[in-house]
Chains A and B, each alone.
Chain A
Amino acid sequence: MKTSTSSPRVWTVAETPVAELEHVCFSYDGERVLDEVSLRIARGDFLGIIGPNGAGKTTLLRIVLGLLRPSCGHVRLFGTDVAQFRDWQRVAYIPQKAVAFEARFPASVFEVVMSGRVRLAGLGRRFAAPDYEAARRALETVGMLPFRDRLIGQLSSGQQQRVLIARALVSHPDLLVLDEPTVGVDADAQEQFYSLLHRLNREMGTTLVLVSHDIGVISQEVTQLACLNRTLVFHGSPEEAMRSGALAEMYRAQSWMVAHRH
Chain B
Amino acid sequence: MSYKSKPWLSLLAFSAPALLFYAIFLVYPTIGGFYYSLTDWNGLYKDYKFVGISNYIQALTSDPQFIHSLLYTLKYVVVIVILQNAIALCLALLIESRTKSKTLFRTLIFMPNMVSIYISTLMWAFIFSRVAPKLAEYTLLSFLDQGWVSTPNMAFLSTVIVTVWQGAGYLMIIYIAALQGVPKDLKEAATIDGASTFRRFYHIILPLVMPAITICVFLTLNSSFKIFEVVYALTGGGPGYSTEVIALNVYQEGFARDRQFGYATAKAMILFFMIIIITFVQVTVFKKKEVEA
Q: Is B one of A's binding partners?
A: no
